[in-house]
Every structure is written in C-alpha cells, then in structure tokens.
Amino acid sequence: MIAIIDYDAGNLTSVARALAHLGFAHEITASPEAIRRADRVIFPGVGSAGSAMAGLKRRGLDKVLHDFYHSGKPLLGICLGTQIILGHSEEHQTPCLDILPGKVVRFDPKSRDDDGSPIKIPHMGWNRVRVERDHPVLAGITAEDEFYFVHSYYPEPRSIEHRIGTTVYGTAFASIIGCGNLIATQFHPEKSGRAGLRLLNNFCGWTPC
C-alpha cells in the first residue's frame, strides 16, 4: 500500500488519480499508524512552508516522516514536500524537517531568462530536467522530457551528492534531490504527462539498495 500524506497542504487527489491510472493501491491518510505501515510514502504539497510545517506538527507527522525515512522504505517528496524535507526555508524563515541538510531559497527577481527578460515569479510552466546522476526512479526519462513546475522557492541541498537533477530558470537549481531511500522532485510528476507517470511508476516499483 502507498500512503499519500494528508496534512492540509493540498494537491492530493491529482496524485491519487495518477496512482489509480497506473494501477497501484493507495490511500490518502493523516494517520501516523497507517503511514508507518505503508510500503512506501508520497509526501506532496502546495502552499507555504510555515502552514505546512504547522499542519505536520499538529498531527505529529513531522516525527513520523523522520521515522519512515529511517525505516529505509521508499519516500517520494513533491513540490512543497520536497522543500520542507530540508532544514530551513527562507519563506517566513521557517525551520523545516531537516531530513536532508540544506535550505530553501527564493528565486532572485533580478535573474534573467534565456531571452534576457526578467524571470516571472512564481516559476510556472514546463521545463526540462538535466539528470546529474543516474537513479532507478529516473529510468527512461530523456533529456527532451519536460515537467510541470509551480513554485517561487527552490531546494538547495548542502551536499552536491544529494543533487540528482537540475533545471534552469534564471539560475540552475536542484529540481530533483535525494539520498538513499528518499527522492524528491520540485516539479509535479502527477501533472507532467507521460514522463511524470513514468517517474511515478518507477517509484512505485523501486526497491532502494
């Protein structure tokens, strides 16, 4: 069973719909017991870091996520879920989960796009991902594949070893991060067409070493 964590941070039904399309059993849950029992966990999210962390702590899910990560079972972060697995977010100066060391930073509004125009914040739309290191969850993903992004902040892991894929939007930023049994995407695979479904399908069949 795949647990999709519910902590009032939205975007759960689209993840569930994608898993149903792929044929994987899943449940949307805020139950610590159900999450601990799950074979794998998806940690999605949209909104602000502060309200997300408050929702997790209110339900005791901050500790559950740490416990699940240390269990060695597969864990997938998506968008805001990817950001708050790091230590600190510049968004309202929010202390986060600190599962991986690093911080979350806001796009610089002075940054320029490829055509020289100022970037728009939030970053919203389709962009490619450059895979920096091979990973089973990225099997079959090509340099031409595009993924859907909606965000004003991005993850900046402390270790380059945790930087799995990058995307350029004004600056090159980590769009896929991970370590061991954890992989996390700044983009929304559940909204990214065939390439996103391939990534989700890979995750659902992944057995971390």
Name the least confident of 5-14, 32-41, 71-80, 174-183: 5-14
pTM of the model: 0.97
Query: Strand pairing partners for 151?
Result: 123
CA angle at residue 61 from 55 to 66, to 5 degrees? 130
Q: Over range 21-36, report the average pLDDT.
A: 98
pLDDT tens, residue by residue, 49-79:
999 999 999 999 999 999 999 999 999 999 9
The amino acid that residue 96 corresponds to is C
pLDDT tens, residue by residue, 114-148:
787 899 999 999 999 999 999 999 999 999 999 99
Confidence (pLDDT) at 10: 74
Confidence (pLDDT) at 115: 81
Tell me what percent of the residues of the chain surpass a pLDDT of 70.
Answer: 100
Mean of per-residue pLDDT scores for the chain: 96
User: Which residue do the tokens 């914040």 mark?
Assistant: 121
Nearest to 32 by CA among 56, 64, 10: 64
Confidence (pLDDT) at 113: 82
As annotated, the active-site residues are 79, 188, 190
Confidence (pLDDT) at 9: 81
- DSSP letter string over 162-189? GEEEEEEESEEEEEEEEETTEEEESSBG
pLDDT tens, residue by residue, 67-120:
999 999 999 999 999 999 999 999 999 999 999 999 999 999 889 887 878 999
Grade residue 25 by pLDDT with cuts at 50, 70 and 90: very high
